[in-house]
Amino acid sequence: MKKKSGKPLKSKKAAKTPQNQLRERILIFFQLNSTKKFTAFQIAKKLKVKDIRFLLEQLDTLVEKKQIKHSANQKYAALSSTASKGDSKSTSKVFSGYVDMARAGFAYIICQDEVHDVYVNQKHLNGAEDGDLVKVELLPGRRVKPDGKIIEIITRSRTQLIGVVRFYNHRAIAFAQAGKKLIEVLVHIPRNIPVEEFDRVVIAITKYKEKSRDLLEGNVIRNLGKETSNDIEMQSILVDKGFPLDWSEALLTAADKISPEISLHSYRKDFRSVTTFTIDPFDAKDFDDALSVQKNKEGHWEIGVHIADVSHYVEEHSALDKEALRRGNSVYLVDRVLPMLPEKLSNNLCSLRPKEDKYTFSVVFTLDDKFNIIGQWIGKTLIHSNHRFTYEEVQEILDGKQGPYQKELQLLNTLATHIRKERMAHGSIDFDSVEVKFKLDAHGNPLELLIKERKPAHMLIEEFMLLANKYVALFIAQKNKEKPIPFVYRIHDKPDPGKLEELGHFALEMGLKLDFSSPKKISQSINKISEAAQKNEVFKILQPLAIRSMAKAEYSPHNIGHYGLAFPFYSHFTSPIRRYADLLVHRLLYANLETSYRAEPDLLHRQCLHISNQERKAMEAERASTRYFQVVFLKDRVGELFDGRIIGMNERGFYIELEGSHCEGFLPINQLDNDIEIHKSRFKASSSFITKAWKIGDKLKVKLVAADLDQKELLLSII
């Protein structure tokens, strides 16, 4: 991205304005609710629009254009004109979204910023597969939820599959898992890769479906054999989620050609003489961030948050950049990392390794003696990390053990504690969730299950990263208030009122009164759950339920703030080695430091949609990896009894956390009773036949009856 002086760069393609986008959403809303009337406040709630004045302006515009009507009782409604029934052009609406395929063959299209997901019948898929980015056109009709057909496949989710080969009439068919569906692939086997029946193979897709009855086609590129292993299962998880297993020779060559030379340029500030260090997990190799500490001439503390300058090495639109965007982020499985960038970059050139000069992009804060931020500077820098700390080493020093840079670490911890206290006072929510890790032997088998603890050393880094992310977004937002600069924000919407109401009722039954009457009361109540859980273990079950009631954070060029952090402006700036969103932010930020650069809004929207989807897939892969290793960890204990606690339920059965291991098992509902009704909140279940009731948090005695490696599931029976 090159900076140019003078006038801001203009997009070649006309961008949708916020006004047009909101009007389009309003029209779709009334198309889906064509027989109902709504007040402006009801519409604002349905569409999650905070600025009621802005909404009223767009409603009035649509009334003037005779696209909706306004009644005397101050309610808005769809026009009941004959044109809306017969004129396909006037009702035709096209959206972009990702295919979420159901086992039965139909799909929902997940569309960002839209009121509902779009249902697509199998006959209207037009060859789309699970995870594909598509354009979907709404079909005419008056349904509660929109119905559509796919008119274009923008990007394929998968280029590879892993399947088991069977031979039929001299044809090789591989049965491969693609999301929730088992699909058939016509495979071509090269002579140099011998394949027998029931071998598991890696397939490069060469031809996608044109019609729903067609078969995918592909070439076998690797034979994994018949025997399963942890390694093969991890590869299968990655391929199923659409992540590539290898780097092409061309990409590795491109990475090798990047110069490692370091020199001080005029546009960089030299921080090499300032005390600087990194704090990371003991097994980390990609060091994204470093902290520096010094006193300035006025006697104020200057704290630098220095982030690897990946944009210096990865040129925009280069092959490496395109591959990084395709991956979206690094994926962290139990036994491996699939990096977003080749190791030459992620673990070497970009990584802020100790005793080496490194290029960074920095946010430097100046604080007074009361720890108030009285100034900040953003720009490119050159640093030299003096030391590489692990979290464990820092925690020991914070606990009083002698160690290097003890004074600086204690100061940073004091500052972080102050910043955290201020953040929580302003309504930030403390999401305290359990993270499971495994200690593996030399062959990659789990020896021990560990629970990752969140200590002051972790929170120290967390607070300074949050601070940098917040100020970067604030800088862009304040640069041009009249005409906001297109940017990548990390947004988090308000929680679902219905889910909060159900959570409140359930918490009250457990003896904990929560108040969800205002945004501030919501955050206070969710933090109240965490505080109660620290005092009484029985309330820990409410923490994951509270998290489920919240919206999911995502990337968007349209800022609505970050509800969970209580930040009006927030972005991701601090991890560009492992997140493409941060690399995008670096480029946009640098282009706007001294002038105004306007990225193409439509392109930015597509990129945000893509990286949000890749983040979701990475999380699914990481969870699948953890579930698999939990099954491996307990497979030799089939037949043993466990104390368990109900942590979830659905129509199929109960999810049980096994005490002492934090592993999750599944108790089928037919093990309890065939006449069980699950409450709509999914917090409670009851049986009228045996007059028995269960709820989340109840303890049960269970037996481990099977460890299913294929389904990554521990099957239980009740004792």
Domain CATH number, residue 62: 1.10.10.10
The model's pLDDT over 516-563, given as tens digits with 9 standing for 90+, comes to: 988 889 999 999 998 998 888 888 889 888 988 899 999 999 999 999
d(CA 612, CA 605): 11
Q: Which residue has the tokens 């009083």?
A: 400
Asked if residue 171 and residue 144 are part of one domain, the reply reads no
User: Which range in 437-441, 468-472, 482-486, 592-596 is most confidently predicted, on average pLDDT?
Assistant: 468-472
In a domain, 491, yes or no: no
Asked if residue 63 and residue 100 are part of one domain, the reply reads no
* pLDDT tops 80 at residue 368: yes
622: region left, alpha or beta (phi > 0 left; psi from -120 to 50 alpha)? alpha
Asked if residue 274 and residue 386 are part of one domain, the reply reads yes
Q: Mark which of 384, 408, 432 sits at the end of a domain.
A: 408
Ranges assigned E (strand) in 189-288? 200-207, 216-225, 268-270, 275-280
In a domain, 493, yes or no: no
- The residue that leads in pLDDT, 275 or 94, is 275
Asked if residue 391 and residue 284 are part of one domain, the reply reads yes
* pLDDT tops 90 at residue 640: yes
Asked if residue 383 and residue 338 are part of one domain, the reply reads yes
In a domain, 1, yes or no: no
Asked if residue 169 and residue 126 are part of one domain, the reply reads no
Q: Mark which of 155, 178, 209 sits at the end of a domain.
A: 155
For 253, half-sphere exposure in the C-beta direction (CA atoms, 13 angstrom radius) is: 3
Q: What are the C-alpha distances in Å from 219 to residues 161, 163, 188, 437? A: 10, 12, 5, 36
The domain total for the chain is 5
Q: What is the pLDDT at residue 636? A: 95
Question: Would you place residue 601 in the very low, low, confident or very high pLDDT band (cuts 50, 70, 90)?
Answer: confident
Q: What letter represents residue 589's amino acid?
A: L
In a domain, 287, yes or no: yes
Question: Would you place residue 104 in the very low, low, confident or very high pLDDT band (cuts 50, 70, 90)?
Answer: confident
φ, ψ at 27 (rounded to 5°): -65, -40
Q: What is the pLDDT at residue 30? A: 83
In a domain, 276, yes or no: yes
* pLDDT tops 90 at residue 481: no
Q: Which residue has the tokens 């929560």?
A: 514
Q: Are 535 and 562 in contact (CB under 8 A)?
A: no
List the end-to-end C-alpha distance of the chain, in Å, as a whole number.
Answer: 64
Ranges assigned E (strand) in 107-213? 107-110, 118-120, 133-138, 147-155, 160-168, 171-178, 181-188, 200-207
Q: Mark which of 378, 408, 438 sits at the end of a domain.
A: 408
Return the number of other C-beta atoms located less than 10 Å from residue 140's C-beta.
14
355: region left, alpha or beta (phi > 0 left; psi from -120 to 50 alpha)? left
Across residues 387-399, what is the average pLDDT?
98
Asked if residue 95 and residue 64 are part of one domain, the reply reads no
Asked if residue 200 and residue 166 are part of one domain, the reply reads yes
Asked if residue 678 and residue 704 are part of one domain, the reply reads yes
* pLDDT tops 70 at residue 85: no
Across residues 591-612, what is the average pLDDT?
90
In a domain, 573, yes or no: no
Asked if residue 101 and residue 54 are part of one domain, the reply reads no
- The residue that leads in pLDDT, 427 or 34, is 427
Q: What is the pLDDT at residue 92? A: 56
Question: Could you tell me the residue range of the domain that residue 689 belongs to?
Answer: 638-718
Asked if residue 331 and residue 391 are part of one domain, the reply reads yes
Maximum distance among all Cα pairs of the chain, rounded to whole angstroms: 84
- The residue that leads in pLDDT, 186 or 75, is 186
Q: What is the pLDDT at residue 386? A: 98
The DSSP call for residue 9 is P
Question: Would you place residue 84 in the very low, low, confident or very high pLDDT band (cuts 50, 70, 90)?
Answer: very low
In a domain, 463, yes or no: no
Residue 292: name the closest of 278, 281, 310, 280 by CA: 278
Q: What letter represents residue 471's amino acid?
A: Y
Asked if residue 210 and residue 68 are part of one domain, the reply reads no
